[in-house]
């Protein structure tokens, strides 16, 4: 069986220790981190964000070890500078127009091209790479796994607040990102040749300089032999990271297994999938999603149990039963957004929400 190795990228908020607002000077953290972590720590477009990326992980246990280690290191580096680290899709209070942009040609080009759409993109995500045997099979899996993106997204919802407001969404991050071009659930592609032609036209017409500027919710990575899931908010805890990554790995492995047996799972139109994505953004795990097979609304709880049944025959092969089963705890305790809203309801303070996120980011380390 193909080895479905994994890689995780997490985007973290760097906060002031007294006000718990975003801090726009992360260069010292990056410089200190590069000595120890090298390419596993990166600056991002906004100076209040740091991205941490794991090495290639053979299994979900390695993912847990790597994510835990990287979170420990970024928290230590921040502590040394008198700063805090938070994992949430948006910051509850801070204003985007007060944040500094990292001085690098790549980011300056993006801002020059997109102006306030780029400056206002103050959002924090989690990207999960799952290795694929080849691009042809990868594209087949990608086409089909799109159906499950809203399910995964609902579990990750962790951005209910924006610039001091309760937005009414469980994930406002995606609403901010929708302003960018080439985002959202990708269309169906009949072949790798069709996919490559699409990218080639965009490069030749100077819409983009390379395929990394395709920011879909899921994509064939332009440089690595992976499917990259990009739809999720960064989640608060390591347990949530490993659960969602394990679900993604299992889905890829299951669809690979079906393809090898010449069995199929129906592909649905992007317009239909977008309806479920919108519901997931608005209501998270409390959503009713549409089961397109029976053409009815179904509580999220029912659909996640169907997903678990669907992947059950690959879970033990991949050694991730405990991580997959953590989804039951997530359903019980609520998503990051649900927990943020509960703290706000109890305290009436967005500073207390930010403090809670900081505590959860270090939970279990």
Q: What is the mean pLDDT of residues 201-229?
A: 90
Q: With 80 as the cut, is the pLDDT of residue 27 above it?
A: no
Q: What is the mean pLDDT of residues 23-36?
A: 82
Residue 291 burial (10 A CB sphere; 0-12, 13-18, 19+): middle
Predicted confidence band of residue 342 (pLDDT cuts 50, 70, 90)? very high
Q: What is the mean pLDDT of residues 245-272?
A: 94
Q: What is the mean pLDDT of residues 286-307?
A: 96
Predicted confidence band of residue 146 (pLDDT cuts 50, 70, 90)? very high
Question: What's the distance, CA 198 to chain centroid?
Answer: 24
Token duo for residue 233: 């908010």
Q: What is the mean pLDDT of residues 331-359?
A: 98
DSSP state letter for 117: H
Q: With 70 as the cut, is the pLDDT of residue 242 above it?
A: yes
> In this predicted structure, what is the pLDDT of residue 183?
94
Residue among 20, 299, 343, 11 at smallest CA distance from 160: 343
> In this predicted structure, what is the pLDDT of residue 193?
94
For the structural domain made of 6-361, what CATH number should be given?
A: 3.30.590.20
Q: With 70 as the cut, is the pLDDT of residue 308 above it?
A: yes
Q: With 70 as the cut, is the pLDDT of residue 302 above it?
A: yes
Q: With 70 as the cut, is the pLDDT of residue 1 above it?
A: no
Predicted confidence band of residue 106 (pLDDT cuts 50, 70, 90)? confident
Query: Is 0.95 surpassed by the pTM of this model?
Result: yes
Predicted confidence band of residue 29 (pLDDT cuts 50, 70, 90)? confident
> In this predicted structure, what is the pLDDT of residue 211?
77
What distance in Å separates the CA atoms of residue 347 and residue 352, rounded to the nearest whole number?
A: 7
Q: With 80 as the cut, is the pLDDT of residue 355 above it?
A: yes
What is the largest distance, in Å, between two alpha-carbon atoms of the chain?
58
**Domain range annotation of the chain:** 6-361
> In this predicted structure, what is the pLDDT of residue 22?
96
* Cα torsion 18, 24, 25, 31: sign: positive
């Amino acid at each position: 069986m193909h080895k479905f190795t994994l890689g995780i990228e997490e985007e973290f908020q760097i906060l002031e220790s007294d006000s718990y607002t975003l801090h726009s000077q992360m260069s010292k953290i990056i410089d200190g981190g590069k000595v120890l972590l090298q390419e596993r720590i990166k600056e991002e477009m906004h100076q209040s964000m740091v991205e941490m990326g794991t090495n290639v992980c053979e299994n979900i246990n390695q993912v847990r070890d790597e994510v835990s280690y990287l979170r420990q290191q970024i928290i230590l580096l921040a502590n040394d500078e008198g700063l805090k680290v938070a994992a949430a899709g948006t910051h509850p209070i801070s204003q985007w127009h007060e944040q500094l942009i990292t001085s690098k040609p790549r980011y300056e080009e993006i801002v020059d091209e997109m102006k306030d759409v780029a400056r206002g993109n103050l959002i924090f995500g989690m990207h999960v790479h799952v290795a694929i045997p080849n691009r042809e099979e990868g594209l087949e899996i990608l086409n089909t796994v799109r159906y499950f993106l809203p399910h995964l997204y609902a579990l990750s919802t962790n951005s209910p607040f924006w610039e001091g407001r309760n937005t009414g969404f469980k994930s406002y991050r995606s609403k901010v990102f929708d302003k960018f071009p080439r985002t959202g659930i990708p269309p169906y592609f009949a072949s790798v040749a069709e996919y490559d032609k699409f990218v080639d036209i965009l490069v030749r017409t100077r819409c983009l300089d390379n395929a990394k500027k395709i920011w879909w919710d899921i994509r064939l990575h332009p440089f690595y032999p992976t499917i990259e899931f990009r739809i999720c908010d960064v989640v608060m805890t390591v347990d949530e990271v490993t659960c969602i990554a394990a679900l993604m790995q299992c889905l890829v492995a299951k669809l690979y297994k079906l393809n090898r047996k010449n069995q199929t799972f129906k592909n649905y139109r992007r317009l239909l999938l977008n309806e479920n994505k919108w519901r997931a953004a608005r209501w998270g795990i409390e959503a009713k999603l549409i089961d397109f097979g029976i053409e009815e609304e179904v509580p999220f709880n029912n659909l996640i149990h169907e997903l678990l049944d669907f992947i059950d025959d690959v879970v033990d092969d991949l050694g991730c039963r405990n991580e997959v089963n953590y989804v039951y705890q997530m359903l019980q305790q609520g998503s990051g957004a649900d927990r943020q809203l509960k703290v706000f309801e109890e305290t009436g303070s967005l500073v207390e929400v930010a403090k809670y996120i900081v505590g959860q980011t270090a939970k279990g380390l």
